[in-house]
């Protein structure tokens, strides 16, 4: 009789043996022609989980709108003087039903990311709310002895729970830090609650925050030192952008990052560390304002360029 451990390994192997279920190229991220053949290096995962949002709603529609907007993104990147997609290959997972139980939903995205990285591919998960991240990182936590999360966000997300929900979007980084081998570098934070301060102080050896109020005096050499030779998982809450350019999110905050500031930070991150995966979350599309969806689609494309085209 097969013991429990062997049975689990068998189930895992069978699960991983299944093919990833992709959309056609023309319906996936960027919408490139179907006759373009190149083996994928990156996989886009639409995962519109929306269970714990506490203010503006609509994040479940984010992935669909990002993919639609990506069909209008110029494929030529003037920074690299080439069409990024021809160098890396991008495939998009076909949307699937997300479990109504948040813990089981996080198991879903964990299992899917595991399948992707077992194939040596780079996953980019499109949320959905920020609570997805602790599920997204699970296979990376197992793979790497130490993992640094780089968080772009307006909010610290260090509450132990919010509205009695342990897996709340307001607890996203706290749940990630439940893993002892995870550290956190947060960029653009400008909203933190009194209840989060004791945890922040107690874990100051694991958490570095670059506060938005101080961005005029951020030292990029310090950022580079923190990141050097680290395995990094990138999580990007779109409310890290200033509310003037990104109001399409649950809790838009003034005083945030602008486009070229953000790209400059991303370049430092990708040049200084080994970025192993990413998620982009909290887009809550506003009907008739496609520019916000387009901004996020272009951000995803720039992240892929920085991942694969830097030498």
Encode pLDDT of 148-157 as tens digits.
Answer: 999 999 999 9
In angstroms, what CA-CA distances link 186 with 156, 234, 240, 255?
A: 8, 10, 10, 15
Q: Residue 206: pLDDT above 90?
A: yes
Q: Residue 11: pLDDT above 80?
A: no
pLDDT at 164: 74
pLDDT at 92: 97
**143: which DSSP letter?**
H
pLDDT at 22: 95
Rounded distance between C-alpha atoms, residue 244 and residue 200, angstroms: 29
Q: Residue 9: pLDDT above 50?
A: no
According to DSSP, the β-strands at 122-126 and 274-281 are parallel
pLDDT at 51: 73
CATH class held by domain 21-31+38-309: alpha beta
In sequence order, which ranges of 131-246 are alpha helices (DSSP H)? 133-136, 138-143, 172-176, 197-202, 220-227
The mean pLDDT of 42-67, rounded to a whole number, is: 84
Residue 170 phi, psi (nearest 5):
-80, -5
pLDDT at 169: 82
Q: Determine what percent of the chain is predicted with pLDDT higher than 90.
A: 80
pTM: 0.92
pLDDT tens for each residue of 147-200: 999 999 999 999 998 777 898 888 999 999 999 999 999 999 999 999 999 999
Interior CA angle at 230 toward 224 and 233, to 5°?
100
Strand, coil or helix: 174: helix
């Amino acid at each position: 009789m097969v013991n429990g451990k062997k049975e689990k390994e068998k189930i895992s192997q069978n699960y991983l043996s299944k093919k990833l279920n992709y959309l056609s190229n023309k319906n996936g991220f960027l919408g490139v022609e179907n006759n373009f053949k190149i083996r994928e290096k990156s996989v886009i995962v639409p995962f519109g989980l929306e269970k714990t949002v506490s203010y503006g709603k609509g994040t479940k529609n984010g992935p669909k709108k990002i993919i639609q907007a990506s069909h209008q993104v110029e494929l030529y990147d003037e920074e690299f003087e080439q069409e990024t997609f021809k160098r890396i290959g991008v495939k998009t997972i076909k949307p699937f039903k997300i479990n109504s139980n948040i813990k089981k939903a996080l198991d879903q995205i964990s299992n899917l990311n595991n399948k992707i990285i077992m194939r040596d591919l780079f996953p980019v998960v499109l949320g959905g709310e920020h609570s997805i991240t602790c599920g997204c990182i699970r296979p990376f936590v197992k793979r790497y002895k130490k993992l640094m999360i780089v968080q772009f966000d307006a909010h610290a997300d260090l509450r132990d729970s919010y509205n009695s929900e342990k897996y709340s979007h307001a607890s996203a980084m706290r749940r990630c830090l439940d893993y002892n081998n995870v550290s956190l570098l947060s960029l653009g934070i400008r909203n933190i609650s009194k209840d989060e301060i004791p945890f922040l102080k107690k874990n100051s050896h694991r958490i570095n925050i670059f506060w938005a109020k101080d961005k005029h005096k951020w030292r990029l050499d310090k950022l580079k030192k923190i990141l050097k030779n680290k395995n990094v998982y990138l999580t990007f809450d779109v409310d890290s952008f200033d509310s003037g350019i990104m109001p399409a999110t649950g809790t838009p905050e003034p005083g945030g990052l602008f486009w070229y500031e953000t790209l400059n930070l991303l370049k430092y991150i990708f040049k200084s560390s080994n970025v192993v995966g990413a998620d982009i979350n909290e887009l809550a599309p506003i009907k008739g304002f496609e520019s916000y969806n387009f901004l996020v689609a272009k951000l995803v494309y720039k992240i892929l360029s920085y991942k694969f085209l830097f030498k």
